[in-house]
């Protein structure tokens, strides 16, 4: 019986897969469409022409410098998404990537400014510092969850607030920022040694972050670790069913701690593309909210590297082109935030619907196939 | 699994592919015909605001007034855009670049957050004139003009006014974000209060610490901070917090426990702002930072062909900062204020630019 | 494996109802009720067909239920009983066929329509609000009927007295036992005016004594003219209470039977479509080598209010190689904690656990598994499977560190897939492939996958918690056989089951757990289910020995039910290749019958 069904299984496998691809694409595409419709309505109601707005975004977005800007931004978003997704894959909601990357970037910038080593030592040192600080900060929430059962969501949100204060406390002249005299109103850490400059790829549209490659490597490593290692299996099992994972022998507590630290360490890298390529110091204008964007991007990308990459590009495209809206027409750039928000809400709802539909659909299919198999067996029997 | 790994690799390397594609596409700056320079009859002025933008009833609005004045009296063309929460330097650069590309010259950046973006864009566009408000740096190129103010001097006067009006001998200071700039306000205010009566206590509260700049654009935060001070029996509250200040003013004006509490506004004459005029009976005065004057002066200097360069500081003497008299609430202490003013302008009083440590 | 029924088997592939007492045409002739032919049937279903996309759940079902009778609807899990009852209760609409209630053709578009027609359903899982009183629960949603005050109370008491339900209207539901809750559910339905009662597997949650009480209630209901449709797959229960029996297999009615004339064995064969294997123990395989030793185990944990509660106290037991130790007990008396303690999922307050001479007291779950403990969890959805993961990932679950699932720290999906195919084949898991999710398999096939997975790692000790719960008869027999085969090879088994027949049939020794303590022990050869049931309620302790006559009686029932007499010393089922063949053919035939 089994031998005869084997080839059939292969064929079926393909079919199921295509349907799966279709199903998983349906949700985000639907979400994007809905968000476009909603933001169009918002624009139209406020008396502006939505098509012109999208035209501005599209025209600018197709220019080469905007594309490079989009890719650079997407690189950062991707790393942020990966950091969040690592926890999400085991149902661990690390909302604290925001605080983790800020602290990580601050310490990394400080270390980078304090030491001057050759590039091949300086850059790893800076990156390691960022990861270490991010991981340590995240481990506080991990320990609280494991030892005291504190929800990691609450703990990390609180730690975000604390991280902001810690940054404020450290980023003052005489501590992490050099004492400056004169008229400057901004404070920042000392500029990092030139040896910490990360390479860039020169294109017609400007400098492309070398970190794009780091992001790609991270994405592949993420996929490999999750799907091809014992650790990854334990992590995914815990995410799918903590009870089943525990019964299967996964040390859930250790898993929680480990994932929290890894997620935090990855979060530490979020600020690195900007820090090592453009700003070279951590200051008052260091970009915020990247951690939260990571959460949105991970949700949208369904916690898979490919999905996160696409979601990051989409988010980056929206953010990059939004800047043009008030300049090229009378459009509030906030409309992009409306779009991003609706995309996330729609996609969360749509994914759940699609998931349920997919499960049910598969159950029915399996039932049908078994019935067909049985019928075939019966026929064979009659023939025999 | 293997399949998905491959897929991941393909898509991620695909994103690199887009990068190489990007190199082939046209730059957004290519298709513009206008080049920099005041070639036409009318000057095209680009303005990039800080978070809050037009309508913050305070700092940005003050800059906007200068721009509006230039528009009407100098006949310049304008284009404006404001910063978003949590944007990167790259976004700011893109904003400035877009203005430059569209032929705007000069370009005025409102707020020190633009410092590094302005420097970068200015270096790339040496023919375009830039102005940055509230910031200066040693490394900025010569086509950047810094427009700064002696906020501490105006704040000193605000301190004198507060000290003269307090009944409980307790006054408050709310800073938007704990930056060097806002600390200048605090320092001047403290010194002013103490010059009248050293025993008066000054409560200080900053809404956020950098790099979190939401303290400049969150009226709710301003309101709760002010409420806390009112509950603590502070009866004059000076708020230097951008649009968060409107929340603080509202809290003071609507406080039921102390109907005689005063708010001191900042940057613009807040008692005459449409959105805040209903509270004008509770706004003692405003420490007006005449950004409008600075903006107008800068634009005019370009128009007349003798552009301002370097760091241009607007102090009390030059009318860069002053106290607003709307409502006449400080008319009774005018003599005191005039005396303080003359001491500062004469150099007899040197106002500190940083609050005492700790 | 013998995949096909051997040609020389005496019955034809059990296609249809040669063995049924009455053939598939539903017969109104039923002993002792002369009026049956004339009175309109309480429920008459004709040609009911229900298709779900790709699957036919019900196909041409015919069912006639006479008024004032207890009519049993029997069938394996997944045979289509639930779908049929959902149709009757208005939760789903049939694609074809007609429903007639009391001779009148009806169409239901919601349960409300069914209730209006006097049909009520008591679900397997009770739908009561714990924090409300009985009165409040009964009235909830039916406020319009008799108000919420004195009138409602009077009505409740009236119904309760009338049918001997014995409910206390002011008791909080959370304080009630399972049986009492069930009576509240029945009352709730009667309160709404039901004259036709559907009971979905009502005995699944009850101990034997409670089952008897329930049957008493059912007889009262019948006496008052209420019609009861009773869904079950427990043969002897059905035989003792039902006036008529209809059997469903593979979505269609295969026949009706008269409980007066049919034997349990014949019924079972109707359900499965072939001969049944039996759970009888054969010659002892118990050795003298100790495999598991649990000593003075104690677990105390604080409950919701923070008060320390002892859930297991002074548990000591040993299981030898080749021995099956059965644990009997009403659910919630510490069985789950005992299993979790041995698996290392619960921290011990005191005591030791030793497996094959190795002290595992402080070991983590994973090392215990690696040391050779196989685990068939009680709740396979919660503890045994990743429902949304494909089968081959489920094959890895619990054995990720072992061959063939991983090499060092790397997972080996290819080898795991291959081995999953092997398990699917050897353990007869009915699935179209190994990439489908575990959730899409039926309960029996999920369980076979779990058994196959655990057995594939050659465990020294198997902890089997309710291994055949919610599993159809065919799969049940296969699972029993697999446990026995492994037992012969020296496996020690800790068997926890609510099915006392299963316990008595499989175990070499039985211990009774009550309130966290092992209070009694028994030899399965000399104890009846009734006496075990008594000990389970705490009413008896020490060594249990049932008296001769009761034992003989029980043996007779068992014989009838499982055909034990057919197999003295395992004759009919064979000793070498015991019941693989019948089990297989049983299942195959069942499918062929579709």
Do residue C432 and residue A365 have CB atoms under 8 angstroms apart?
yes
Residues of chain A positioned with their CB less than 8 A from the CB of B82: 326
3-state secondary structure B3-35: HHHHHHHHHHHHHHHHHHHHCCCCCCCCCCCCC
Please give the Cα distance from C541 to C513 (Å, whole number): 10
Chain C contact for B2 (CB, 8 A cutoff) = yes
How far is residue B65's CA from residue C25's CA, in Å, rounded to a whole number? Answer: 94
* Domains of chain B, earliest start first: 39-149+290-320 (3.40.50.2300), 151-288+325-346 (3.40.50.2300)
Model confidence at B129, pLDDT cuts 50, 70, 90, reads very high
Mean pLDDT of A320-331: 86
d(CA C518, CA C512): 6
Of A336, A305, A311, the C-alpha closest to A322 is: A336
Q: Please write the tens of the pLDDT for every residue from B87-100.
A: 888 889 989 999 99
The mean pLDDT value for C103-124 works out to 85
pLDDT at B206: 92
> Picking from A284-288, B7-11, C195-199, C295-299, which range would have the lowest pLDDT averaged per residue?
B7-11
pLDDT of C263 over the 80 cut: no
Residue C52 burial class via C-beta count within 10 angstroms: exposed 0-12, middle 13-18, buried 19 and up = middle
Q: Is the pLDDT of residue A95 over 90?
A: yes
Nearest CA in chain B to A67: B22
More confident: C78 or C505: C505
CA distance to partner chain A, nearest, from residue C388 (Å): 7
Among B residues 305-344, those touching chain A with beta carbons less than 8 Å apart? 311, 313
According to the per-residue pLDDT averaged within each range, which of C25-29, C212-216, C307-311 is highest? C212-216
Q: Is A254 helix (H, G, I), strand (E, B) or coil?
A: helix
- Does C27 contact chain A (CB < 8 Å)? no
Residue-level pLDDT at B21: 46
Instruction: Name the C residues in 431-450 with CB < 8 Å from any A CB.
Output: 431-437, 439-441
Closest partner residue to C594 (CB to CB) among A227, A363, A375 is: A375
Task: Write down the pLDDT at residue B357.
Answer: 64
Candidates C276, C257, C245; CA nearest to C18 is: C257
The C-alpha atoms of residue B87 and residue B66 are separated, in whole angstroms, by: 26
CA-to-CA separations, C528 to A99, C336, C525, in angstroms, rounded? 66, 24, 8
The half-sphere exposure of A115 on its side-chain side, counting CA atoms within 13 A, is: 14
Which range has the worst mean pLDDT, A287-296, A313-322, C277-286, C501-510?
C277-286
Per the CB < 8 A criterion, the answer to whether C74 and C80 are in contact is no
ipTM of this complex = 0.82
Nearest residue in C to B1, CA atom:
C413
Window 7-36 of A: residues touching C by CB (8 A cutoff) are 8-9, 12-13, 16
Stretch C324-336: mean pLDDT: 83
Q: Residue A226: its chain C contacts at CB < 8 A?
A: none
- Tell me which architecture the domain covering C290-592 has in CATH: 3-Layer(aba) Sandwich (3.40)
Q: Which residues 100-119 in chain A show a CB within 8 A of chain B?
A: 102
How far, in Å, CA of A279 to CA of A273, rounded? 9
Furthest CA-CA distance within chain A: 99
* Surface-to-core class of residue C570, CB atoms within 10 Å of its CB (0-12 exposed, 13-18 middle, 19+ buried): middle
- The H-or-E segment that residue A265 falls in is helix A252-268
Lowest mean pLDDT among A245-249, B352-356, C32-36, C156-160: C32-36
Assign A152 a pLDDT band (cuts: 50, 70, 90).
Answer: very high
Which subunits have 3 or more CB–CB pairs within 8 Å of chain C? Answer: A, B
Which residues of chain C from 401 to 440 reach within 8 Å of chain B, CB to CB?
411, 413
DSSP secondary structure of A215-252: HHHHHHHHHHHHHHBHHHHHHHHHHH-HHHHHHTT--H
The average pLDDT across C570-591 equals 36
Between positions 520 and 559 of C, the ones with CB within 8 A of A are none
Residue of A nearest to B133 (CA): A185
- Which run of H or of E encompasses B107? strand B107-109
Of C398, C592, C594, the CB nearest to A249: C398
Please determine, for residue A285, whether its predicted confidence score (pLDDT) is greater than 70. yes
| pLDDT band, very low/low/confident/very high, at B242 (cuts 50, 70, 90) | confident
Residue C131 has pLDDT above 70, yes or no: yes
Chain A CB within 8 Å of residue B80 CB = yes
Distance CA A10, CA C92 (A): 35
pLDDT at B131 over 80: yes
Which residues of chain A does B7 touch, with a Cβ-Cβ cutoff of 8 Å?
A: 306
The span from the CA of B165 to the CA of B8, in Å, is: 68
Give the chain A residue nearest B47 (alpha carbons).
A327
CA end-to-end distance (rounded Å), chain B: 58
In chain A, the domains with their CATH numbers are: 1-46+333-384 (no CATH), 72-331 (1.10.3470)
Which of left, alpha, beta for C541 (phi over 0: left; psi -120 to 50: alpha)?
beta
Q: What is the DSSP string of B188-245?
A: HHHHHHHHH-TT-EEEEEEEE-TT--GGGS-HHHHHHHHHHHHHTT--EEEEE-TTHH
Tell me the pLDDT band of A32, cut-offs 50, 70 and 90. confident
CB of A202 within 8 Å of a chain C CB? The answer is: no
């Amino acid at each position: 019986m089994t031998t005869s069904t084997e080839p059939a299984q292969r064929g079926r496998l393909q079919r199921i897969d295509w349907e799966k691809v279709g199903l998983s694409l349906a949700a985000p595409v639907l979400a994007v469409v809905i968000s476009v419709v909603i933001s169009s309505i918002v624009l139209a109601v406020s008396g502006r022409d939505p098509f012109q707005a999208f035209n501005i975004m599209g025209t600018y977005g197709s220019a080469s410098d905007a594309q490079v800007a989009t890719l650079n931004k997407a690189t950062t978003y991707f790393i942020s998404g990966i950091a969040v997704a690592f926890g999400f894959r085991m149902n661990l909601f690390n909302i604290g990537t925001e605080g983790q990357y800020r602290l990580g970037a601050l310490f990394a910038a400080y270390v980078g400014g304090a030491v001057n080593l050759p590039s091949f030592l300086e850059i790893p040192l800076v990156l390691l510092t960022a990861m270490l600080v991010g991981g340590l900060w995240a481990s506080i929430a991990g320990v609280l969850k494991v030892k005291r059962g504190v929800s990691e969501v609450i703990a990390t949100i609180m730690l975000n607030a604390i991280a902001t204060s810690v940054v404020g406390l450290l980023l003052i002249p005489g501590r992490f920022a050099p004492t400056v005299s004169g008229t400057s109103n901004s404070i920042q850490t000392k500029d990092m040694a030139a040896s910490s400059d990360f390479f860039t790829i020169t294109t017609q549209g400007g400098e492309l972050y070398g970190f794009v490659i780091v992001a790609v490597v991270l994405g592949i490593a993420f996929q490999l670790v999750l799907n091809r290692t014992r650790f990854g299996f334990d992590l995914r099992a815990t995410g799918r069913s903590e009870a089943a994972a525990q019964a299967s022998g996964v040390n859930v507590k250790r898993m929680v701690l480990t994932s929290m630290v890894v997620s935090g360490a990855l979060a530490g890298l979020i600020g690195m593309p900007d820090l090592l390529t453009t700003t070279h110091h951590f200051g008052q204008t260091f970009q915020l909210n990247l951690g939260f964007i990571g959460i949105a991007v991970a949700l949208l990308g369904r916690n898979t590297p490919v999905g996160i990459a696409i979601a990051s590009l989409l988010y980056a495209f929206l953010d990059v082109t939004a800047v043009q809206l008030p300049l090229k027409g009378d459009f509030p750039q906030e409309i992009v935030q409306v779009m991003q928000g609706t995309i996330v809400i729609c996609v969360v709802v749509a994914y759940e619907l699609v998931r349920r539909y997919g499960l049910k659909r598969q159950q029915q299919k399996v039932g049908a196939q078994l019935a067909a198999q049985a019928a075939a067996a019966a026929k064979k029997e009659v023939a025999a | 699994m293997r399949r998905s790994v491959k897929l991941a690799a393909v898509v991620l390397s695909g994103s690199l592919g887009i990068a190489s594609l990007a190199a082939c596409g046209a730059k957004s700056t290519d298709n513009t015909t206008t080049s920099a320079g005041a070639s036409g009859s009318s000057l095209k002025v680009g303005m990039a605001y800080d978070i809050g933008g037009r309508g913050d009833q305070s700092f940005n609005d003050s800059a906007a007034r200068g721009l509006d004045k230039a528009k009407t009296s100098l006949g310049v063309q304008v284009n404006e855009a404001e910063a978003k929460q949590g944007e990167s330097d790259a976004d700011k650069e893109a904003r400035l670049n877009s203005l430059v590309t569209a032929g705007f010259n000069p370009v005025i950046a409102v707020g020190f957050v633009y410092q590094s973006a302005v420097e970068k864009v200015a270096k790339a566009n040496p023919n375009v004139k830039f102005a940055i408000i509230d910031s200066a740096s040693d490394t900025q190129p010569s086509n950047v003009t810094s427009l700064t103010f002696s906020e501490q001097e105006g704040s000193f006067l605000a301190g004198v006014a507060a000290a003269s009006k307090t009944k409980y001998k307790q006054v408050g200071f709310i800073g938007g974000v704990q930056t060097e700039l806002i600390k200048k306000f605090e320092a001047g205010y403290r010194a002013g209060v103490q010059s009248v009566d050293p025993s008066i206590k000054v409560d200080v509260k900053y809404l956020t610490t950098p790099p979190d700049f939401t303290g400049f654009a969150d009226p709710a935060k301003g309101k709760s901070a002010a409420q806390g001070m009112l509950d603590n029996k502070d009866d004059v509250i000076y708020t230097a917090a951008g649009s968060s200040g409107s929340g603080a003013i509202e809290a003071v004006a609507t406080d039921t426990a102390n109907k005689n509490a005063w708010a001191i506004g900042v940057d613009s004459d807040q008692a005459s702002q449409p959105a805040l005029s209903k509270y004008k009976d509770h706004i003692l005065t405003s420490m007006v930072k005449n950004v409008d004057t600075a903006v107008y002066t800068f634009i005019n200097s370009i128009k007349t062909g003798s552009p301002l360069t370097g760091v241009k500081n607007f102090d009390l003497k030059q009318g860069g900062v002053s106290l607003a008299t709307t409502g006449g609430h400080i008319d009774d202490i005018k003599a005191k204020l005039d005396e303080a003013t003359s001491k500062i302008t004469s150099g007899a009083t040197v106002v500190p630019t940083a609050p005492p440590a700790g | 494996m013998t995949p096909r029924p051997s040609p020389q088997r005496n019955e034809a592939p059990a296609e249809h109802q040669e063995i049924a007492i009455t053939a598939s045409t539903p017969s109104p002739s039923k002993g002792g009720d002369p009026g049956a032919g004339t009175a309109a049937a309480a429920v008459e279903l004709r040609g009911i067909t229900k298709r779900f996309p790709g699957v036919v759940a019900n196909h041409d079902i015919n069912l006639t239920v006479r008024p004032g009778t207890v009519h049993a609807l029997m069938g394996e899990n997944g045979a289509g009983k639930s779908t049929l009852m959902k149709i009757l209760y208005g939760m789903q609409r049939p694609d074809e066929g007609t429903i007639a209630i009391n001779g009148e053709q009806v169409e239901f578009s919601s349960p409300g329509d069914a209730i209006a027609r006097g049909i009520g359903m008591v679900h397997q899982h009770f739908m009561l609000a714990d924090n409300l009183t009985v009165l409040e629960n009964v009235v909830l949603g039916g406020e319009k009927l008799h108000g919420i005050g004195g009138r409602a109370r009077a009505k409740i008491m009236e119904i309760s007295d009338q049918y001997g339900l014995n409910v206390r209207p002011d008791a909080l539901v959370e304080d009630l036992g399972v049986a009492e809750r069930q009576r509240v559910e029945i009352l709730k339905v009667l309160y709404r005016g039901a004259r036709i009662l559907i009971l979905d597997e009502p005995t699944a949650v009850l101990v034997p004594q409670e089952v008897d009480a329930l049957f008493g209630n059912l007889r009262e209901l019948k006496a008052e003219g209420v019609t009861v449709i009773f869904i079950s797959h427990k043969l002897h229960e059905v035989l003792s209470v039902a006036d008529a029996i209809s059997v469903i297999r593979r979505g269609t009615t295969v026949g009706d039977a008269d409980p007066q004339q049919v034997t349990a064995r014949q019924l079972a064969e109707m359900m499965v479509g072939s001969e049944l294997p039996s759970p009888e123990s054969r010659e002892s395989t118990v050795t003298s080598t100790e495999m598991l030793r649990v000593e003075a185990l104690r677990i105390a944990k604080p409950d919701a209010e923070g008060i320390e509660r002892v859930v297991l106290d002074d548990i000591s037991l040993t299981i030898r190689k080749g021995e099956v130790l059965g644990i009997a007990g009403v659910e919630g008396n510490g069985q789950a904690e005992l299993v979790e303690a041995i698996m290392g999922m619960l921290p011990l307050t005191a005591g030791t656990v030793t497996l094959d001479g190795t002290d595992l007291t402080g070991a983590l779950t994973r090392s215990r598994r690696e040391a050779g403990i196989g685990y068939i969890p009680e709740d396979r959805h919660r503890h045994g499977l990743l429902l949304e993961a494909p089968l081959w990932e489920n094959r890895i679950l619990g054995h990720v560190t072992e061959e063939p699932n991983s090499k060092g720290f790397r997972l080996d999906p290819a080898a795991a897939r291959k081995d999953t195919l092997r398990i699917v084949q050897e353990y007869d898991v009915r699935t179209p492939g190994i990439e489908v999710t575990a959730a899409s398999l039926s309960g029996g096939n999920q369980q076979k996958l779990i058994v196959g997975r655990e057995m594939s790692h050659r465990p020294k000790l198997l902890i089997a918690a309710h291994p055949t719960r919610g599993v159809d008869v065919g799969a049940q027999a296969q699972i029993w056989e697999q446990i026995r085969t492994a037992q012969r090879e020296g496996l020690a088994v800790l068997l926890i089951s609510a099915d006392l027949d299963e316990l008595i049939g499989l175990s070499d020794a039985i211990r009774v757990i009550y309130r966290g303590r092992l209070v009694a022990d028994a030899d399965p050869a000399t104890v009846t289910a009734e006496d075990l049931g008594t000990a389970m309620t705490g009413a008896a302790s020490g060594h249990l020995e049932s008296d001769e006559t009761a034992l003989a009686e029980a043996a007779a029932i068992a014989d009838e039910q499982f055909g034990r007499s057919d197999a003295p010393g395992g004759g009919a089922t064979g000793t070498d290749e015991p019941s693989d063949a019948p089990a297989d053919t049983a299942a195959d035939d069942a499918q062929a019958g579709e």
